Structure 1
């Protein structure tokens, strides 16, 4: 299979070429994965068919083909391929790159400049690409694992098309493993379950899979290894998780929405994913408690207590024992009746408070500790509710002239069924007793 992809000698001055390098495709139709963008109907396929390739930003996890596809695009369009990394490239280096691209352009040769980790450049450095993109000196292809919306400036994004590359599926990883075996000239010494475990360890990263395959292929064994035997020889890759980046917010959003959607299994999965990624359990305890008051509220007042108790249990037990208490709270919240009635009412009340500004309370509910205050009407005609029939006076508590709103509308779920009965009851009494 080597001759199908790369004709470079297997040996380099420093030793054998890595398998990932040997298997790098030589044509776009040899790329495994990314069918959605490379197919004739995909964005890149359509650009190539029309002969109008524009500057691009490849956004995706590691090992999904960003560098390979950029190199092949240069081949397809007869552009000179230049690769730099934002980690190791400074302003003087960029100037040299642009000057070389200008010279090539004068000689009739365009330049595809591939910038790995482009999000590492600051906003001013990113602006430095703009004039060379606009005058055609370079066709920029940037690669990033971070959300371009947050990491790249608007000017650069407006001149580029963002192409989202997906992690490789298990089926695609298996195809890559088969291609590696053809290159090696032998099958990997793994039983079926062990092979599946190896694919899972790669976690959607093709380059990581090929590195794992190289390790397995180097073992001196005459028998096929089981899953357990493989696990003792290979270290599982840490799950991709950035506790301060977008992945952090994506996973807590997935956990929150799973709880809101009453799916305890999905909620436990995302909870476990965050813990496995190294998330602080105290952050999860805080967010779980927030879920209780935002999405369950008074439909189950006990939900908040369950969260606070699980939080306290975690603080006493620590990790990993205390994490079970948090998991218990997650399941309770997922199965509890849901209501955002108080949340919606609170937001409406905040909005009204901002709009009405400094409107004072009505005088009849103001205290009057001095004679002057009594003389100007403070506390006049206040009805003491305990002395009223049914313990309810029905008097107005909003600022004078403000139309009485209805913000809290509890749904017919959980304990809020009882609260709705009380609201309806007081509303009828209020209507009866107000003029």
Structure 2
């Protein structure tokens, strides 16, 4: 539910005022909202607990979905001593102390569940330091990360731990959490139906954020129920989770590119808007949009590339936010344009062939002969000037002597490439006739 539900040494009996998130901290795994894909009877953790064989784990998910909570409750379920550290504030000396204390507990017959928050912040050497203690059973490691473990964690550590994906809470989960908060506080939120839904959406899948918002709303003195407008004048929408250098960046640009390729302008505009509202550099988007025109549309619509370049130039002149509209129009055009990767595939094929035959010289007939010696060597001899040939086409071979003729460009029967295909087929037949 919330990573905030896990302050070490929290005293539930204290009468000092506590944040709502702390008061609603689950006391058992069955109280955790959401994450059935991990905690259900047939899910990985449910199966491990039922068999009594808990392995080291890495929880991967966004903030406020229950990584710390679940780790603490796992320690309770398995009678392990719970130790929590953060990779941000822990160095090698502190790690040594943690490992020594865990060894002492083990000698006294008690295991240790070591929870490492932001584990991806540890460097390779620090991550490697966990391995011997995991292998000999000194610690059972549970790491938490908001970053893709495939990129951020060592292969050796990943091979000794199971990665479990925790998902952002959906609206039903958040509503359940809001009702639990209302029961704890003994009164309902002073919101009408639409405003209540708007509050849930403001949390953006983060249970901790929702409880903080609920606590704010409950502190207001209002008459009756607020509508959406009244709520939004009092609360600022939570900033979207977006890391311009992390996995979210690559996931969203992939979603934008594939929506354009899939000819879905609405989805493409949505992902473009997601990246812009997340703070992405519009110039990066302009470059990637132009790449889409070259890679996925190509000569099926030669105008597409020009439209993208004009949109890029328009943005440079107008700036944000006005210039972003030009990028949106370019994305819409690309999504509805005929698609072809024939030019892209042809270029890759030609590049591969060039690497394999990179030392083969051109045939002598098409070599330039600016000197007498070169003419004496036969450079340019026999070259047929295509403009003087019938149909302005000689049909000569322009590939290296002895190299099998390559076929790289195979345009589809779509868009403008339908015309190019007709021309290509015409020259193929004419070449066969000339060479024959």
Please indicate, yes or no, whether the TM-score normalized by the shorter chain is above 0.5.
yes
CA displacement, residues 388-411 of structure 1 (integer Å, 9 cap, x when unaligned): 110000000001111001110000
Count of residues in correspondence between the two structures: 428
The match for 1:9 is: 13
The match for 2:410 is: 409
Matched, 1:260 2:261: yes
CA displacement, residues 352-394 of structure 1 (integer Å, 9 cap, x when unaligned): 1111121110010001111111111100110110011100000
The match for 1:419 is: 420
The match for 1:93 is: 94
The match for 1:34 is: 35
- Secondary structure of the 1:11 match is coil
The match for 1:170 is: 171
- Secondary structure of the 1:112 match is strand
- Secondary structure of the 1:113 match is strand
The match for 1:369 is: 370
Asked if structure 2 preserves the Cα contact closer than 8 Å seen for 1:410 and 1:419, the reply is yes
Q: Structure 2: give runs of 5+ residues left out of the alignment.
A: 1-5
2: CA distance between counterparts of 1:263 and 1:64? 31
**Which deviates further from its counterpart, 16-25 or 417-426?**
16-25
Matched, 1:55 2:59: no
Deviation at 1:433, TM superposition (A): 1.0
**Which deviates further from its counterpart, 167-176 or 369-378?**
369-378
**Runs (4+) off by over 6 Å:** none
- The correspondence of residues 290-309 of structure 1 with structure 2, limited to 5 A, is 290-309=291-310
**Which deviates further from its counterpart, 166-175 or 351-360?**
351-360
Q: Please give the TM-score of this superposition, normalised by the length of structure 2.
A: 0.97
The match for 1:24 is: 25
- Secondary structure of the 1:271 match is helix
Deviation at 1:58, TM superposition (A): 0.2
- The correspondence of residues 34-433 of structure 1 with structure 2, limited to 5 A, is 34-433=35-434
2: CA distance between counterparts of 1:11 and 1:249? 47
The match for 2:3 is: none
- Secondary structure of the 1:115 match is strand
Deviation at 1:311, TM superposition (A): 0.9
Asked if structure 2 preserves the Cα contact closer than 8 Å seen for 1:289 and 1:304, the reply is yes
CA displacement, residues 260-307 of structure 1 (integer Å, 9 cap, x when unaligned): 000000000000000000111111111100000000000000001111
- Secondary structure of the 1:373 match is helix
Q: CA RMSD in A?
A: 1.2
Deviation at 1:10, TM superposition (A): 5.8
CA displacement, residues 178-216 of structure 1 (integer Å, 9 cap, x when unaligned): 000000011011111111111000000000000000101
Q: Please give the TM-score of this superposition, normalised by the length of structure 1.
A: 0.97
Deviation at 1:11, TM superposition (A): 3.0
- Secondary structure of the 2:143 match is strand
1: CA distance between counterparts of 2:134 and 2:64? 27
CA displacement, residues 113-137 of structure 1 (integer Å, 9 cap, x when unaligned): 0000000111110000001000000
2: CA distance between counterparts of 1:181 and 1:193? 17
2: CA distance between counterparts of 1:380 and 1:9? 99
- Secondary structure of the 2:395 match is coil
Asked if structure 2 preserves the Cα contact closer than 8 Å seen for 1:10 and 1:22, the reply is no
CA displacement, residues 138-194 of structure 1 (integer Å, 9 cap, x when unaligned): 000000000001110111011000000000000100000000000001101111111
Q: Structure 1: give runs of 5+ residues left out of the alignment.
A: none
2: CA distance between counterparts of 1:311 and 1:252? 17
CA displacement, residues 330-365 of structure 1 (integer Å, 9 cap, x when unaligned): 000000000000000000111111111211100100
